[in-house]
Structure 1
Amino acid sequence: MQTTSEYYCAYCGEPNLTFVDFSAGGQQSYVEDCQVCCNPNILYVRIDEDTLDIEIDSEPEA
């Protein structure tokens, strides 16, 4: 199952949408470029198994 979720770019602060793949597990991390400024963000995704709520933190890729 896939859904979209929003995160804020660690560089420019603009909101972005990303696809979250539930089959990849409850804790995920991957790099995705900002749709506005094109800088790479490391996304840390956590999915609550009971409620399926998604929480995403982003940080700049070093």
Structure 2
Amino acid sequence: MQTTAEFYCAFCGEENTTFIDVSQGSQQKYIEDCQVCCRPNILYVRIDEDSLDIEIDTEYEEG
């Protein structure tokens, strides 16, 4: 099951929308480029398995 969630770019601070595949577990980590500045962000996704609330933390992708 996929759902959308928002995160703020670690570089420019702009809000982005991303798709989250909740069937991949309650803790996920992946890289997604900002839709505004195109820089890569590491997304740390936590999903509450009972309520399906999603929390996303971001940090810079080095490189």
Q: TM-score, normalising length from structure 2?
A: 0.97
Match of 1:25 in 2: 25
* 1:11 CA drift (Å): 0.1
Pairwise CA distance, 1:60: 0.4
Aligned residue-pair number: 62
List alignment gaps of at least 5 residues for structure 2: none
Once the two structures are superposed, the pairs formed by residues 1-62 of structure 1 within 5 Å of their partners are 1-62=1-62
Q: Which amino acid aligns with 1:30?
A: Y
Q: Distance in 1 between matches of 2:50 and 2:3?
A: 16
- Of all paired residues, the percent bearing the same amino acid is 74
Partner of 1:11, secondary structure, is coil
Q: What amino acid is the match of 2:20?
A: V
